[in-house]
């Protein structure tokens, strides 16, 4: 019987105790490119989503700025987590996701099937994150005074990571978080094909700058062992 399940579930990964751990990592990396949330493609490890959920709770995030929308599955996931936080009274009811991509045609086509009313809480913004004006437009789309989580998930090169850090960390409040995604591009053995790397060097160089001195790299938060974002969990401490 074809239940359409295969369209709605990620491919299966096996964890053989005898196999080298790096093979499991690689299989999980391939798998995460084909995962789905509410019927929409999402590119995140479940462990990373869980950690993001912890950080949203701890930092009382009322808004999420996502850099790199793709199909919009993660934007939906963030929106649903924000709604849950509001339901617990942890954040004000007026939650918002502002998700940025150079083009939003894929998300505009995919999101209405999951939620025709997605636009109430999700703003899809077209822009290049390396352009400082994009950050100004994002700031204007946020609820006044909202505490914000920023998740950088664009090209995962040195230049895009550094630009995201420079332009979007001003949106992160004291105690809040900025996640520079996909530092695995700099880990030998885990770098996906065709990725030049540069995420972790950009984070390191930016942390050494005057702007970066206000943030702390929280490697201690990598609680689940597997993360696509080694070295990318950053917290504003002043």
Binding residues (CB under 6 A) for ligand SAM: these are 42-44, 66, 68-70, 73-74, 100-102, 128-130, 153-155, 160
74 or 135: whose CB is closer to ligand SAM? 74
135 or 221: whose CB is closer to ligand SAM? 135
Nearest approach in angstroms of CB 115 to ligand SAM is 16
**Minimal CB distance to ligand SAM: which residue?**
68
Q: Which residues are CB-neighbours of 156 under 8 A, at least 6 positions away?
A: 181, 182, 185, 195, 198, 199
43 or 90: whose CB is closer to ligand SAM? 43
Nearest approach in angstroms of CB 157 to ligand SAM is 9
55 or 155: whose CB is closer to ligand SAM? 155
Nearest approach in angstroms of CB 210 to ligand SAM is 24
Nearest approach in angstroms of CB 130 to ligand SAM is 5
43 or 137: whose CB is closer to ligand SAM? 43
Nearest approach in angstroms of CB 81 to ligand SAM is 13
């Amino acid at each position: 019987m074809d239940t359409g399940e295969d369209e709605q579930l990620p491919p299966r990964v096996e964890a053989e105790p005898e196999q080298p751990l790096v093979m499991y990592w690689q299989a999980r990396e391939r798998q995460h490119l084909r995962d789905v949330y509410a019927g929409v493609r999402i590119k995140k490890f479940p462990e990373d989503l869980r950690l993001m959920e912890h950080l949203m709770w701890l930092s009382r995030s009322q808004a999420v700025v996502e850099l790199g929308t793709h199909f919009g599955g993660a934007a939906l996931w963030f929106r649903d987590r924000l709604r849950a936080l509001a339901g617990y009274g942890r954040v004000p009811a007026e939650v918002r996701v502002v998700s940025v991509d150079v083009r939003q045609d894929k998300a505009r086509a995919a999101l209405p099937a999951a939620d025709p009313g997605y636009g109430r809480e999700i703003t899809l913004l077209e822009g290049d994150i390396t352009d400082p004006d994009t950050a100004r437009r994002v700031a204007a789309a946020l609820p006044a005074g909202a505490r914000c989580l920023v998740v950088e998930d664009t090209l995962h090169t040195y230049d895009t990571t550094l630009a995201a850090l420079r332009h979007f960390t001003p949106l992160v409040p004291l105690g809040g978080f900025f996640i520079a995604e996909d530092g695995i591009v700099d880990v030998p053995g885990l770098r996906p094909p065709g990725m030049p790397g540069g995420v972790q060097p950009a984070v390191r160089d930016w942390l050494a700058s005057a702007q970066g001195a206000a943030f702390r790299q929280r490697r201690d938060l990598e609680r689940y062992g597997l993360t696509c974002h080694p070295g990318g969990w950053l917290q504003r401490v002043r």
